[in-house]
Structure formats: structure tokens, C-alpha cells
Amino acid sequence: MGRISSGFSVSAGVAERRSYGAGSSERVSIPQKIRSYFRSRRIIAALGAGALVALVLLVVLFLGMRGGPINPGSQQPKVQATNVNILQNIIKSPPGTVFDDPQVSNLTFQYFTTQPGTYFLNFANSFSTGPSNTKISLSYSLGGKSNNETLYLPPGTTLATGYDISANQVIDGQFNVSGGSPNYIHFYITAQTCAHTVDFSFNLVNDGTANGNATVQLQGDGIVYWQRTYSVAQGQNLPESGNAFPSECIAHNYNVNVTAVQKT
């Protein structure tokens, strides 16, 4: 049976325990234990900070997937007009006399239009027997536009000049007749009026991130004929319709446009 001896020695801050014989030997370093302890604390702290950052990122991602108000100031409505349908209809009436003076040599006249249409100034030289032409010195204004003309009519002829005029306008003028035999003419105003209607429908779609008020216009060749403001909630598809009555007998290329959107 062998002999076992043991002992301790201390050198350079290292404690050693030695065993001799058939048993095992073990060496323990105190500084290594201290370093291992603090290393484990740092690992735990790092893991804790990383878990906190991951949790914050998950919350941000969750709110972003839900469309949550991460920045309320960035929420804005976005309203567009879709499914636009426009029907334009112009119905013209047969020409009719709206002013008549059957025998006149000097005249000052005035007429107020109540409907849009084409208005004609008619000069009939039905009285003169010739041989000279009848001279007519004319000055007139139509819808705010003035003009001066000199007309010469052979005996038995009629001259008509037409103008497209809106409703609620004034036709006024004066003329003098000379050179005829006799110096009389038949003067009258005829009108071919119209009814101009525009019926339209559309959908307002708000695919933005906030409610809004949308201003909608019916425009024709750059002119606004109709306007209205609608409240459109976020995600709403709002069907609407309207009609307009332009004051002239001229066809236009019409469009329905959203011209302004305000967040509510």
C-alpha cells in the first residue's frame, strides 16, 4: 500500500493544493475566479439590454402593422373622384321674333336676353324701289361688346347678322337709314334659344390616413360651372351627383375634379 503525502505552497499570489499518490491533483487560481465572476455579470447585463431593445422594436413593428399613430402629424386625407359620368345636353328652340319694328328710318332699340342662344339683327329693305342701295349707319353693343358698321342693302333684300349671347345680357343700339326710296326698312330681332344642362355623377374615395373635407368642381374648358364641399371619412367611398345649367349654347369638354382637401 503506497504512501500519500500532501502540502500547501503559496507563490506569486497563487494558492496551490497538491496531492501526491494515486489520487488526483487540483489547481485553483483566485484571480481567474474573480475574472470569471465579473465576466458572467457583464454577459447577463448585455443580455438584459438586448432584450429591452428587441422588445421596443417589436412594439414599433406591431404599431406600424396596425397603422397606429406613430406620428399623428403625418396623417393626411387623400380624396379622389372616381367613376365619373357626365351627360351634356343642348336643346335648341326654333327661331322666334323677340323684337319687331315694321317700318322705321331712325331707331334706338334695347332688348334683355332671358335665355342663352343665338340672336339675329335683321334689316329688311322691303320698301325701297331703287335704283340706289339703302344705307344703314349702325352702332350697337351685345353683351358688353360694342361695334359700328355701315350696311348697304339693295332694294328687296334682307340682311341678318347673328351673335351667340348668354342669358341676362343687353342688346342695344341705334341706326339711321338714308339713300333709299323711300328711306324705310323693316327691323326685327330673332332668337334661337337653348336649354343647356349637364348631369353628372361620381364617387369620392378617401384612401388617406385621416378624415377630410373635399372641394369638388365641375369644370368645362377651364371654366367652373359647379362647386360643392363634401366631408369624406378615412376609407370611405362616397357616391354623389349634381347638375349644372351653363348660360350659353356652346358644348364644352367637362371634368369633375377634386380641387382642395382639408384635414378634419
Domain ranges in the chain? 5-65, 75-90+196-263, 93-194
What pairing do the DSSP bridges indicate for beta strands 237-244 and 185-206?
A: antiparallel
Q: For residues 224 and 69, is the Cβ–Cβ distance under 8 A?
A: no
Please give the pLDDT value at position 112: 94
Query: Per the structure block, which three cell numbers stand in for 264?
Result: 378634419
Query: Per the structure block, which three cell numbers stand in for 35?
Result: 475574472
Categorize the per-residue pLDDT at 148 as very low, low, confident or very high, splitting at 50, 70 and 90: very high
3 state SS of 246: coil
| 75-90+196-263 and 93-194: identical CATH topology | no
* CATH architecture, domain defined by 75-90+196-263: Sandwich (2.60)
Q: Could you give the CA distance from residue 50 to residue 43 in angstroms, rounded to a whole number?
A: 11
pLDDT exceeds 60 at position 13:
no
Categorize the per-residue pLDDT at 83 as very low, low, confident or very high, splitting at 50, 70 and 90: very high
Q: For residues 179 and 135, is the Cβ–Cβ distance under 8 A?
A: yes
Categorize the per-residue pLDDT at 248 as very low, low, confident or very high, splitting at 50, 70 and 90: confident
Poorest-confidence range of 47-51, 153-157, 191-195, 237-241?
47-51
pTM for this prediction: 0.56
Categorize the per-residue pLDDT at 144 as very low, low, confident or very high, splitting at 50, 70 and 90: confident
Q: Of 254, 122, 127, 249, which Cα lies nearest the Cα of 201? A: 254
Q: Of 176, 187, 181, which Cα lies nearest the Cα of 149? A: 176
* CATH architecture, domain defined by 93-194: Sandwich (2.60)
Please give the pLDDT value at position 167: 86
